Amino acid sequence: MRKQSYLICILFILITILSSCAFQAKQPTSIELLSTIEDAFIDIAAKSKPAIVGIFVRHSNRDLNRLGSGFFFREDGYIITNDHIVHGGQRYEVKLLDGSIIDAKLVGTDIITDVAILKVDSEKKFPTLALADSEKVRVGQFAIAIGNPFRLDYTVTTGIVSGKSRDIFGGMPIIRYQNFIQTDAWINTGSSGGPLLNIYGEVIGINALIRKVEDTPLPVRAGAGFAIPSNLASAIGDQLIANGKIIRGYLGISILEVAQGISVERVQLGTPADKAGLQWRDIIYEYNGKKVKNKLQFQMLIADSTVGKESVIKVIRRGQKRTLRATIVEIPPEMVGLPYEDNSVSWNTLGLAVRQLEKGDAQRYTYLTDEDRGVIVKRVKVDAPGFYAKIPRGALITAINGEQVSDVQTLEALLQRHKELKELMFDIKSSHGEEKLTVHLQK
């Protein structure tokens, strides 16, 4: 019996050894492993290229023409790219993988996130790239960048995700989101707008920037490229397609970072901050229940606030805590780097720039409904009749001297008709409710 048990043990050991040898024999060699990885990169590039486009932006000044990249993220022809590529262009062309060049139109752009949307009109369906959940991106994972640097179409570079939530701007004249994915995959001029992919061929980011080495006049290769996270790009893209633009909030103060939060350095006259009672040297430590950590975070909290909604601001004033309430308005165009030009009758006579009611306004302006008709005041010129009448930015003008205002053309026609009058009665709707305001015309 003991001998039988011994034989069984020997047999078990032999089977184990043979199984182990067989398992080891099936293990791939180093070259086979590298070949598998190589094939994976080749497959990703081949499958992704049909959805990626080169972008050529034409300006009236030939010296300002720009090249960039982008990709279809909707099969009905919507292309996502960077704002800094398309900004200020007069004509847009995209180059497809087969070499054909077709016209595109600009749907919308957002300088704060550096995201823009182009649209190609066609009955055919375009190949697309799927967007990954950028929250799940991990530092150290593979990254593949595809774009058109230096007119070298469909250049593929590989690397890893080097970091997340990167803040690389300093002293920018405009507000910018700071949540970049960093990669050492090669990105260069012309690569902007192209996708940064994972090993599944999904977009984890939109290539946007490269690091600028100190003491050099131009951005140069320094082992660090930066991409806009796909979650942010997708959310902005969807809003641009739905509304044509992103409506952002504005408070109206200049600020500095201090240990306790944000110090108010200047309050602009007539702004929500002024009306809320914010004062010089107030220290803002909480905004709508969120602790204020730094200048950029606070700016983004304001920018993302709903226009027309009351925000709760907690401050420290001369050692005492106070709670203030401000009704946020729409940010002026120059605050997001947009030039302002207007030669309309309303601007020249009233100092009011207006626009049509747009899809989505009722969702952003809490005092509006889908049934409202009129024009939105998008800008108020200081020291002009509209300014002195206290017509706020974001107000809806519904009538002048009792005559309904249905659109911008009607408003302009009414102003022309009444240009000899000394004053006009405006019916408006704003965060203050419905009001009648008298505008005294300058003669």
Kindly give the residue spans of alpha helices, DSSP state H, lying in 277-406.
Answer: 295-303, 345-350, 361-364, 385-388
Residue of 192, 234, 305, 431 with catalytic role: 192
Query: Is residue 232 within 8 Å of 178, Cβ to Cβ?
Result: no
Q: Which among 219, 210, 97, 193 has a CA at the least distance from the CA of 159?
A: 210
192 is catalytic: yes
Query: Is residue 206 within 8 Å of 115, Cβ to Cβ?
Result: yes
Taken in order 67, 72, 73, 78, is the CA torsion positive or negative? positive
Exposure class string for 32-53: b at 16+ Cβ within 10 A, else e: eeeeeeeeeeeebbeebbbbbb
Return the amino acid letter for 420.
E
Q: Which residues contact 25 (CB under 8 A, 6 or more apart)?
A: none
Residue of 84, 110, 184, 427 with catalytic role: 84
Q: Which residues contact 145 (CB under 8 A, 6 or more apart)?
A: 156, 157, 158, 159, 183, 185, 186, 187, 191, 194, 195, 196, 197, 207, 225
Q: What 3-state class would DSSP assign to 384?
A: coil
440 is catalytic: no
Rounded Cα distance, 45 and 128, in Å? 13
Q: What 3-state class would DSSP assign to 119?
A: strand
Half-sphere exposure of residue 10: CA atoms within 13 angstroms, side-chain side: 6
Residue of 83, 110, 114, 282 with catalytic role: 114
The tokens describing 368, both together, are 């509006």
Rounded Cα distance, 342 and 380, in Å? 12
Work out the burial of residue 183: count CB atoms within 10 Å of its CB; fewer than 13 is exposed, 13-18 middle, 19 or more buried.
Answer: buried
Determine the Cα angle at 333 with ends 332 and 339, to 5°: 140
346 is catalytic: no
Query: Is residue 57 within 8 Å of 68, Cβ to Cβ?
Result: yes
Which are the catalytic amino acids?
84, 114, 192
